[in-house]
Amino acid sequence: MIVPIDFVLLFFLLVTAIAAITLKDLFAAIVLLGAYSFIMANMWLQLGASDVAFTEAAVGAGTSTALMVAALSRLSRKARWEK
């Protein structure tokens, strides 16, 4: 019974992705994108692509999150857009 793990991962992947693009707090969105990358790495591992999973964990969850936090330090924390 290995298939349900796939579905659980996919569920959390969708939840974090939708939450990341709908949240108005940009810092929370960045942290959620890091969580998205981590779940995506788990999915790559589940699919048997361990090299891609490793790259996703190193770049997506590690370095790119830090870069986005550094970019956020120049912006205001709340997103503003016209309705």
Residue 78: Cβ-neighbour burial (10 angstroms; 0-12, 13-18, 19+): exposed
Q: Rounded distance, CA 39 to CA 41, Å?
A: 5
Binding mask 6-45 for other proteins (x = CB under 8 A): ----------------------------------------
Half-sphere exposure of 27 (CA within 13 A, CB side): 7
Contacts of other proteins in 43-62 (CB under 8 A) = 50-51, 53-55, 58-59, 62
Q: Which residues bind other proteins (CB under 8 A)?
A: 50-51, 53-55, 58-59, 62-63, 66-67, 70-77
